[in-house]
Structure formats: structure tokens, C-alpha cells
Amino acid sequence: MAEATSCVQCSTPLQRQSIGSVTGEEGVLRIAVADFPVLVCERGHRQFITRDFPRKLLEQLAGDKTGLPEGKKRGLLFKKLHCGQCDVLLEIEAASRSFACDVRPEEGAALHVELTLPVYTCPACKCEQLRERGEIEGLVPTALAQAFRGAGILPPR
């Protein structure tokens, strides 16, 4: 899809720019995208470089970007996180760790994305792991939306 040529708010011409970093948080997940490409008008309104850019970025962030195994939640009413390797109950506290990856939602340069997540260490087998992947992946859309709002990027129309 082609880039827009005029601002959706004020109809002035747009130019492509990169903004330093956009960050958003949701629950235990923090996402930071460096050198985020946007279209900017002379009045400073920002919008996505293409209408489907947010969807493509979200698709690129799906899946495992950490290389760590996942724990498993067990229990009927009160589910608790257990080690995915040896099934021992994991500690409630976890250390936050950042994982970097490059994604390419459009042709051209890759975007550098940093995901910060809690990492749990099993007290028995010492295996490092994340919460269940589905739980983490469910936080990504809201964290990205928060990052876009914080950077003042208009939603696609």
C-alpha cells in the first residue's frame, strides 16, 4: 500500500521521518521500538507510513523472540506457574530481562525492537523460562497501541 501524501488532520504535505523511540507497557511486558518510521506534516501531526503498518508490525512480533522455554500454569481455580521442564512451582518474583530482535514489517531497513519480560528461574533444575507464551502474546497489541498513542501517531483510517 502506498504512503499517504497529505495529513489526515490538516491536509498539508507529509514527509517521512524517524522518531527516536516509541515505548509502551501492558502488564508485565514493555516494548520499545527504536528509530520508528512515521509520516509527519509541517504542523507536527504524525501518522503511520502505510495504513497496514501496525498490523504488519504486530504479525512480525508474534512468536518466540526470546529463545527461552515457557512455564506452565497448573491448578483448577488458582493457577500457579510451574517449571516447564520439571514441573516444580516457580517463585512469584522474577527478574526482568530485555530481549532484542529485528523485525521488517515493510521493505527497507529493519526495526530494532526490545521486549522486556519477567524471567523465572526454577529452584530445582535452574532452567530459565517465561510465562506461558499465549499470555505474553496477548499483551503485545495493547503495549504497541500504548506506544503509538504515547508518540502521538494517528491510527490508520
d(CA 63, CA 95): 21
C-alpha cell at 17: 521521518
Q: How does pLDDT run across 75-126, given as a tens digit for each residue?
A: 888 889 999 999 999 977 889 999 999 998 887 778 999 999 999 999 999 9
Q: How does pLDDT run across 22-52, given as a tens digit for each residue?
A: 999 999 999 999 999 999 999 999 999 888 8
C-alpha cell at 110: 529493519
d(CA 57, CA 34): 13
C-alpha cell at 153: 501517531
Residue at grid coordinates 507536527? 44
Is pLDDT at 65 greater than 90 in this prediction? Answer: no
d(CA 28, CA 117): 6
pTM, 2 dp:
0.84
Kindly indicate the confidence band of residue 147, based on its pLDDT and cuts at 50, 70 and 90.
very high
d(CA 20, CA 72): 37
Per-residue model confidence (pLDDT) at position 66:
85
